[in-house]
Structure 1
Amino acid sequence: MSLATHIEQFATLPNGLRLCYASHGDESAPVVLLIAGLGVQMVYWPAVLIEQLVTAGYRVVCFDNRDAGRSARAATPHPSKWQQLTGKAPAGSYSLEDMADDTALLLDHLGIGQAHLVGMSMGGMIAQTLAYRHPQKAASLVSIFSTTGHRKVGQPALSTLWRMARAKAPRNQAQAVESYRSTMTHIGEGTAPGAQALWENYASQAWLRNGERADARALFRQIGAILKSGDRTPHLRSIQVPCLVVHGDQDRMVHPSGGVATAQVIPNARHEVIAGMRHEINAPQAQRLAALILHHIGQQQ
């Protein structure tokens, strides 16, 4: 499996942020918006996923969130590791609501009135937030291995937290590749076809697109956004668009209870549990996710 190749473009939003984005397919077609997760860049999305959506007649738009990839870096405080462990965001940090607003402004910039929202992990949180904060922008919602923000659900495994706490910022591309491989060996599926090559390809691209630096503060600011927004359960109850919640039963980064809770609080949400799926979109999962997404959004036409 290969990662998607993008023609990268930039949008300067009314709030002053500059986001990097890419568009695939007929610009007049219904839009599927792919929203990436914590620290993840838009080049993560598998080519086969985008190709299947485009072949089915959709326009696919993906982008780097603020503080990721080639998008702008924020000038706000980031939480310390102690604040991350205690679940407290520093004063002045931005929130998931701010990131959802970024996304709405990007859609406006592109002249897109409404889109099918597909988010993974933190991107699922942003998609959920966009769906209740800007309901007119959402045609449907797909939340992939994400959660509600409630402290009692969707938490990482202790082994994952331990690895995150001990992680050191890479100083060069080789270290970045090795660090990503180590992380994905723990939370991903290393025996999947082409997994090792895929991890190396993504980590290399991400390092270069990130200005050949680790930029841990940017990652921490995104973590701060999650902490600041806290439990979004009351807001999720107000979502009215059709929602599909997808989660694997072997997820060590976002416990499957996060998916259960999300599906329980969003009215009429459908919950799809994928046996053996971890916190990764690999070759087999990309094919299955494309089919699930197309079935879900096809029902809304």
Structure 2
Amino acid sequence: MANLISNGLSLEYETFGASSDPAVILIAGLGFQLIDWPAAFCEALAAEKFHVVRFDNRDIGLSQKLEQKGLPDLPRLMQQLQTGQPPEVPYHLSDMAADVAGLMAGLGIDRAHMVGMSMGGMIAQLMAIFYPEKLYSLTSIMSSSGNRHLPPSTPAATSVLMSAPASQAVEDVVAFGLQVNDVIGSPGFRWDRAALEEHIRACVVRSYCPTGYLRQYAVVLAANPRVSELPGVTAPTLVIHGKDDPLVPYAAGEDTARLIPGAKLELVDGMGHDLSPALCDHLAGLLIPHLAANRAG
């Protein structure tokens, strides 16, 4: 792994495959680190002659933390959103898209296949909106257009998202991670329990920054809907969404695909809101043909 300065921030990244092959940028979701994209998944894409880049978003993993921005006041933010006041957030999703553009520039990548999950899907959509010349294709996974009229998360998913570990001790954080996956994970693509526990522990030991997570969460809550911009997206688009996603119901995937001209929609039975190894094996089977069909734009 390595780091570079992008958009004024230090970002941690890792690559797979030859740099001469078409690039695939993997953009992680809220609170997810680059290692949440399984290495086997990245290697499967690289084996198809793609140059795969996974990285830590700002405020997470080994990328730069913006502690000087402080903690967001979530109750006040919710009140601002409900009353139509300008939301006070530490930064915006458009800043995170600029991070991706800067990462590409630092790596000498002119164009790439943009693949984002959840919050990362929102960032990938913004890349297609603001930097269309940088995309070969777009893939939006378990994400949303931000349409305010879409169905909400289930009460259980909302509750666990708003919860916290019993303490900041590693074992309590790992136990909480297991609890979250029990609620929002993929029922048809379950993790092996021991492997999941080992993975969560590896993430916590690598970097645990709850303040960064809260800043990212505030940014997602306050993000402007992309409903009016997505019809202008020209990148060939694949939308993948789980039919068993309790956090971002699959109506959000249907809405995203409807808004983007020519988008292909794949609804997956048994897929929830995680990146289990079994699910990523299935995602690779959906993603590789899309990347191959649009290999050079």
Work out whether the TM-score is over 0.5. Answer: yes
Give the match for residue 60 of structure 1: 52
After TM superposition, the structure 1 stretch with the greater mean CA deviation from structure 2, 263-272 or 153-162, is: 153-162
The match for 2:112 among 107, 112, 115 is: 115
Count of residue pairs brought into register by the alignment: 290
> Does 2:220 match 1:226?
yes
Question: Following superposition of structure 1 onto structure 2, how do residues 139-154 of structure 1 map, counting pairs within 5 Å?
Answer: 139-153=136-150
CA RMSD, aligned part only?
A: 1.9
> Does 2:75 match 1:82?
yes
Give structure 1 regions of 4+ aligned residues with deviation exceeding 3 angstroms: 83-90, 189-194
After TM superposition, the structure 1 stretch with the greater mean CA deviation from structure 2, 70-79 or 122-131, is: 70-79
The match for 2:3 among 5, 10, 14 is: 10
CA offsets per residue over residues 148-202 of structure 1, 9 Å max, x none? Answer: 1112226321221122233246412111110100000111146756531232122
Deviation at 1:33, TM superposition (A): 0.7
Deviation at 1:216, TM superposition (A): 2.3
Give the match for residue 269 of structure 2: 275
> Does 2:27 match 1:30?
no
Question: Following superposition of structure 1 onto structure 2, how do residues 247-266 of structure 1 map, counting pairs within 5 Å?
Answer: 247-266=241-260
Gaps (5+ residues) in structure 1?
1-7
CA offsets per residue over residues 240-294 of structure 1, 9 Å max, x none? Answer: 0000000010001111111011001111101000011111222332122111111
CA contact (8 A) 2:242 2:267 kept: yes
> Does 2:163 match 1:166?
yes
Distance 2:257 2:119 in 1: 16
> Does 2:229 match 1:235?
yes
After TM superposition, the structure 1 stretch with the greater mean CA deviation from structure 2, 166-175 or 117-126, is: 166-175
Q: Using structure 1 for the length normalisation, give the TM-score.
A: 0.90
CA contact (8 A) 1:94 1:224 kept: no
CA contact (8 A) 1:93 1:228 kept: no
CA contact (8 A) 1:95 1:224 kept: no
Deviation at 1:49, TM superposition (A): 1.2
The match for 2:240 among 241, 246, 249 is: 246
CA contact (8 A) 1:66 1:72 kept: yes
CA contact (8 A) 1:79 1:90 kept: no
The match for 1:46 among 9, 15, 38 is: 38
Gaps (5+ residues) in structure 2?
none
> Does 2:197 match 1:200?
yes
Give the match for residue 13 of structure 2: 21
Deviation at 1:84, TM superposition (A): 5.7
1:192 and 1:276, CA in 2 relative to 1: closer, same or farther beyond 3 A? closer
Q: Does the residue aligned with 2:21 lie in a helix, a strand or coil?
A: coil
CA offsets per residue over residues 52-101 of structure 1, 9 Å max, x none? Answer: 10111111000000011000112325433324655747425211101000
Give the match for residue 3 of structure 1: none
